[in-house]
Chain A
Amino acid sequence: MGVLSFLSLGVRFEANVEALNMVEVSGNYARHRRVPYIITEGGKPKVVYVPAVSGESLAHAYQELLAEEAKSLNLPVCSYCSAGEFLKSMDEEHASEKFGGKVPKLSQRAKKEELIRVVNEIEAGIVRGCVVEDVGGFLYAEKPPVKRTSRFAVSYALPIKSMATYATLEPQLHARHARTTGERREGAAEQMIYYVESGTAIYAFTFNLDLAGIGVSSYSGAQLVEDVGKRRLAAVRALYRMLSSQGFGAKLSRFFPVGGIVSLVATLTERPFTVTSPIYDDFATSTRQRLERVKATFGEKALYFEMGAEGYRTPEDVLSAVIEALKQEGTV
């Protein structure tokens, strides 16, 4: 404690014509994820549906980048996470490579001491074997079950409140090619029309990263690995890359959204502190004021970063400053 180790980030990004989070496909129609938004019309509440991107979708992108960053720092990542299949160590089969094929088990008449030992061994083995599961958590659903809470958390990306009703969802018609040469066969499924819903909005989301929990056992609080600093660095760098490349969401090969990050605030604190959601217009002011309050009340260190202020012109400027501060602090 007493070290800056909790990072909270609020991001607003403009996305024009995107298909970042598709849910159901019904026939030739692919639907975008949407959420209800309650507005008042003529004094009566009314629900409208606006486009959204789930936190799960953002978390997936983050973990893919985390796997890459970890490997580039020569840190261990298991074969499933390397392939972007985040099944985590959900059962014996998926956990086995972390234990050379032999996952610790409870004996027939296990006593309390044995339970504690086995649970600790399983968590430690998985954490040592895979940085993605260290940071992103897992649920080993065997006997005994072992759960590790994710060290990062991410909200839904929702249209900002003041402009949510301007957010749009429109189906775009696409046509699949039909042959013009050769023999025409009756009934062949050649030409086909299909629709993809695309959204446009200014989205906002929150991302929290608890660096203090990386490489640390949930059961004993003990440090499990030697390379904690490097693992933390990989976790922050993955976030940097995610924001810098906008590498999140689906259908990016054809629906890469036009736009970019329009505002960004970040805080670094000793203990958990979450920025005000950027869906609210006052999020930067509110975050800054609350942070000052916590600093003054508890005598804690805390740093505030805002894109557009103090020479931080781009998201990369903010994230570089965050990483620099963490280096100075000795956190990474």
Chain B
Amino acid sequence: MGAAFSLRYVLAVLRPHGVVSLRVQPQSKARVSLKHPPPSSLLGALSYSLAREDGREVVFRDGHVEPRSAEFRDLIEHVAVAVSGEGYSYGSLYKINEYYRGEALQAVTALMNTFLYGEGDFAIKALFVLSGRCDGDCARLVERAAWGISRLGSRESLVSVERVSSGVGRVLAVDEVETEYSFEWREGVSLEGSYDVVFTADWRSVLGNIASAPRIRVVYPRGRVRVRGKGMKVFQFDEGVVVL
């Protein structure tokens, strides 16, 4: 086990209100919905609440307009998610009839959503590991913002925050770990257990133009997975462990 140092964290347990609409960016005509919340959506969900403190949703940076999350990501060292229960993607087929200025038009489209809806109880645990720049006051602000997460992804994907916990965890180097949280897949790592791998935008990169952002491969454990790799950096906190 390598030398350890400490970082603060905030963990929010979200309860979906049925639909989680996470669009694959960039969109094509066949609009796909992701089954797992990508880190960029979690950061966006927290940013909405943080941005409301002064009403500014966007920032101007280098001649571009960027969402405010571009500013808040400096407060966040790492984002991970654990989802209990598996979503189901479904999109109704729509036939759209339009009568516009004397001309009748018709189009067919489908809009996918992911439904976290069923007998079982679904929960989305969103973990924010705060950077060293985020002091005690800042951590408290993030904690309140976490309570204020109201939407995950776009449009109708409302969530309520059922529980928020916070504290200090340790960053360690280990060769093997078991985790329920999502993490970025890297070369030289072996996995044991059931999981999905999703190609998604790197949440650390420029969020203004998500279409051109570099992609990362994120592993979403179904339940738990065992991860092996020489000297992996992990974050260990009261309620679990996350591969960094």
Residues of A within 8 A of B (CB): 1, 8, 23-26, 31, 33-40, 45, 47, 54-56, 111-112, 115-116, 119, 144-145, 147, 149, 153-156, 158, 161, 205-206, 208, 210, 212-213, 216-222, 271-277, 279-280, 286-287, 290, 294, 297-298
Contacts and interface: CB of A to CB of B under 8 A. Distances in A.
B147 A273 contact: yes
A64 B34 CA distance: 32
Interface stretch (B25-33, B52-60, B72-80, B188-196): B52-60
Candidate in A39, A271, A275 with the most chain B CB atoms within 10 angstroms: A271
B118 interface: yes
A116 B49 CA distance: 23
Given A36-B88, A213-B52, A156 B19 contact: yes
Contact of B65 (A31, A34, A115, A294): A115
B160 A277 contact: yes
Q: Which of A218, A274, A280 has most B Cβ within 10 Å?
A: A274
Nearest to B62: A112
A88 B216 CA distance: 35
Nearest to B65: A119
Given A155-B158, A156-B156, A221 B118 contact: no
Interface of B: 15-19, 48-49, 52-58, 60, 63, 65, 88, 90, 92-95, 97, 113, 115, 117-121, 143-145, 147-151, 155-162
A8 B161 CA distance: 13
Contact of A272 (B15, B55, B92, B150): B150
A298 to B, nearest CB: 5
A206 to B, nearest CB: 5
Contacts of A45: 118
Contact of A280 (B15, B52, B158): B15
Interface of B is mostly: mixed
A210 B52 contact: yes
A153 B151 contact: yes
Contacts of A31: 92
Nearest to A271: B148
Contacts of B148: 271-273
A147 B67 CA distance: 10
A35 B19 contact: yes
A55 to B, nearest CB: 3
B158 A153 contact: yes
B7 to A, nearest CB: 21
B117 to A, nearest CB: 6
Given A47-B88, A274-B161, A158 B56 contact: no
Binding site secondary structure of chain A:
mixed
Given A37-B119, A290-B147, 18 more contacts: A1-B53, A24-B94, A35-B115, A37-B115, A38-B88, A38-B120, A112-B63, A153-B150, A153-B151, A153-B155, A153-B156, A158-B117, A161-B118, A210-B52, A218-B57, A219-B60, A271-B49, A273-B148
29 contacts: A8-B150, A26-B95, A35-B90, A37-B118, A37-B119, A38-B117, A56-B155, A115-B65, A158-B19, A205-B17, A206-B160, A210-B52, A218-B58, A221-B56, A271-B145, A271-B147, A271-B148, A272-B148, A273-B150, A274-B149, A274-B158, A274-B159, A275-B160, A277-B18, A277-B160, A279-B117, A280-B121, A286-B162, A298-B147
Contacts of A273: 147-148, 150
Contacts of B150: 8, 153, 208, 272-274
A219 to B, nearest CB: 6
Contacts of B57: 149, 218-219
